[in-house]
Amino acid sequence: MIIADVARVSLADAIREQESQYTSGVYGKRELSIVRGEGATLWDADGHEYIDCASGHGVANIGHGRSEIAAALSAQAQRLITCPEIVYNDVRASLLARLAQVTPAGIERFFLCNSGTEAIEGAFKFARLVTGRTQIIATMRGFHGRSMGALAATWEPHYREPFAPLLPDVTHMRYNSLEAAEAAISERTAAVIIELVQGEGGVHVATREYVEGVARLCRERGALLIVDEVQTGFGRTGRLFACEQYDLQPDILCMAKSLGGGVPMGAIGLGRRVIESGRISRGVHGSTFGGNPWLVPLRLLRWISLSVRTCLTVRLVSEPMLLVACVVCARPLCVRYVEAAC
Ligand SMILES: Cc1ncc(COP(=O)(O)O)c(C=O)c1O
Q: How confident is the model at residue 239 (pLDDT cuts 50, 70, 90)?
A: confident
Enter the DSSP assignment of 145.
-
In this predicted structure, what is the pLDDT of residue 339?
A: 39
Query: In sequence order, which residues have a C-beta less than 8 Å from that of residue 101 and are 6 or more positions away?
Result: none
Residue with the larger pLDDT of the pair 29 and 339: 29
Measured from CB, residues less than 6 Å from any atom of ligand 1 are: 57, 115-117, 120, 143-145, 195, 199, 228, 230-231, 256
- Name which of 148-152, 240-244, 269-273, 291-295 the model is least confident about: 291-295
- Name which of 99-108, 192-201, 325-334 the model is least confident about: 325-334
Question: Are 340 and 62 contacting, i.e. CB atoms less than 8 angstroms apart?
Answer: no
Mean pLDDT of 242-246: 96
Question: Are 194 and 155 contacting, i.e. CB atoms less than 8 angstroms apart?
Answer: no
In this predicted structure, what is the pLDDT of residue 4?
A: 52
Interatomic CA distance for residues 90 and 74, integer angstroms: 17
CB count within 10 Å of CB 293 equals 21
Mean pLDDT of 232-253: 93
Q: What percent of the chain has pLDDT above 90? A: 69
**Phi then psi for 2, rounded to 5 degrees?**
-105, 155
In Å, how far are 126, 131, 162 from 148, measured between CA atoms? 16, 21, 11
- The alpha carbon of 146 and the centre of ligand 1 are apart by a number of angstroms equal to 8
Ligand 1 atom at minimum distance from 195 CA: 1
Mean pLDDT of 41-48: 95
Enter the DSSP assignment of 207.
P
In this predicted structure, what is the pLDDT of residue 261?
A: 83
Domains in the chain with CATH codes: 69-299 (3.40.640.10)
**Phi then psi for 3, rounded to 5 degrees?**
-60, -35
Q: How confident is the model at residue 70 (pLDDT cuts 50, 70, 90)?
A: confident
In this predicted structure, what is the pLDDT of residue 278?
A: 97
- The alpha carbon of 144 and the centre of ligand 1 are apart by a number of angstroms equal to 5
Q: How confident is the model at residue 49 (pLDDT cuts 50, 70, 90)?
A: very high
Using CA positions, which residue lies closest to atom 10 of ligand 1?
A: 116
What is the arrangement of strands in the sheet containing 49-51, beginning at the earlier edge strand?
Answer: 34-38, 41-44, 49-51
Q: How confident is the model at residue 315 (pLDDT cuts 50, 70, 90)?
A: low
